Amino acid sequence: MNGGLFDRVFHTYKIMHSIQTLDFVKLKHSEWSHCSHSQMGVMDAVMSLDQLVDESDPDVDFPNSFHAFQTAEGIRREHPDNGWFQLVGLIHDIGKIMALWGEPQWAVVGDTFPVGCRFQNSIVFRENSFQDNPNTSDPVYSTECGIYTNNCGLEKVNMSWGHDEYLYRVMKYNECSIPEEGLYMIRFHSFYPWHSNGDYMHLCNEKDLRMLPWVQEFNKFDLYTKTADLPDVEALKPYYQSLIDKYCPGILKW
């Protein structure tokens, strides 16, 4: 990573880690969970990401729609009979559309982490980016479990606000038929402290542990398909539109 790119990435995380508190996350839930910002089809949402370059990502400096098709095609090669998995590869980042509607990137992109309990050491830039977060010194929020209980389940945990949680809520609000494994991939693919570093296991229940291998399988394609070899998007669109029509058809509320 060159110096300018590193500075951009660190700056995004420094603001995120200073401002993303439990109260902030609850505020964002109230602003976005009613899906009243726009109405559009899923393919239009995917293509709208051409307007966005992710300020938290050191691996790509080209628009997100290319990464969407790269990820989907990587999954399609290894899981040719699993349409919903391929679709998740295509749509996993489209919650970043919030950035096109005025949400700052530090509340949209990047790795996620629980709020309301201690910030674990595996969070990116943990040692030098949380000093200004008031939850760090809160007598409850700074404890291992914080406001949660052991093995309460990730469904009860408040995650930092970003595109994962937003898209998960859009899928639920619009009653899309992607199975639970796919919804976990959408909701937790940026939760690297959990799926890649093994932190926060004390908050997980049996369901979370069953779903973890699916999230890890997805992460292989999310992480390792970011190449400069750009896909022929127009040629691929009809196939992926057929998957959209099956699992999240029509005009969705966002």
Is residue 92 marked as binding? yes
**185-194 as b/e, with b when 16 or more CB fall inside 10 Å?**
bbbbbbbbbb
Is residue 29 marked as binding? no
Is residue 34 marked as binding? no
Is residue 79 marked as binding? no
**158-176 as b/e, with b when 16 or more CB fall inside 10 Å?**
bbbbbbbbbbbbbbeebeb
Is residue 163 marked as binding? yes
Residue 45: alpha-carbon gap to chain centroid: 15
105 to 9, 14, 32, 55, 146: CA distances (angstroms): 11, 12, 15, 7, 27
Is residue 222 marked as binding? yes
**CB-CB contact of 141 with 117 (8 Å):** yes
**Dist. CA 157–CA 162, nearest whole Å:** 14
- Residues with Cβ within 8 Å of residue 246, at least 6 apart in sequence: 83, 177
Known binding-site residue numbers: 67, 92-93, 163, 189, 222
Known binding-site residue numbers for Fe cation: 67, 92-93, 163, 189, 222
